[in-house]
Amino acid sequence: VEVSGESMVPTLHDGDELVLNKAILPKRGDIIVLNIDEKNYWIIKRVIGIEGDTIKFENDKVYRKTIDDEDFILIDEDYTQGITEPKGQTIYFVGEGEYFFLGDNREKSSDSRYYGVRTEEDLVGVVTSWSLKQKGFWYSFNKVINYPSNWFSSCKNTIGE
């Protein structure tokens, strides 16, 4: 997939090309691609909550309570940019087979604060860790072997904010 937009800055940037694993389910902290509607509108975000978690927004911070926790714990998010403000609800429960996700660029992201929690059915894939480390690989590979651009572009999808 090719990233389009700023919702995952500073981790991902417009034009980054990544590889998805469609055979695994995501864990907290993984970056995923979700299909948001029947028109195949894909977005890329970070998983903050999985089945059984409760997510809370308070004082521009994000807290999580897992099924094993008695209290909410502040999530250490050194990868974010911008202020994390709730857009409506301040507490979300993540049900069976659901995910709560946020963009790393909190002020420029339409995420679970807008779309709510989403199910496994909406999951397109999990961005591979080696793909994140080698974000420019596919672009460089295409330039080196000099395939016609129409062949390469037919092999990827663009994802939005």
* Residue among 22, 45, 112, 140 flagged as catalytic: 45
Radius of gyration, alpha carbons of the chain? 16
**Residues 125-135: b if buried by 16+ CB within 10 A, e if exposed:** bbbbeebeeeb
44: closest CA among 17, 65, 66, 78? 17
**Residues 8-28: b if buried by 16+ CB within 10 A, e if exposed:** bbebbeeebbbbbeeeeebee
* Residue among 4, 7, 108, 131 flagged as catalytic: 7
Residue 45 designated active-site: yes
CB 52 within 8 A of CB 67: yes
CB 60 within 8 A of CB 113: no
CA pair distance 107, 91, nearest whole angstrom = 18
Residue 39 designated active-site: no
Q: Which residues are tagged catalytic? A: 7, 45
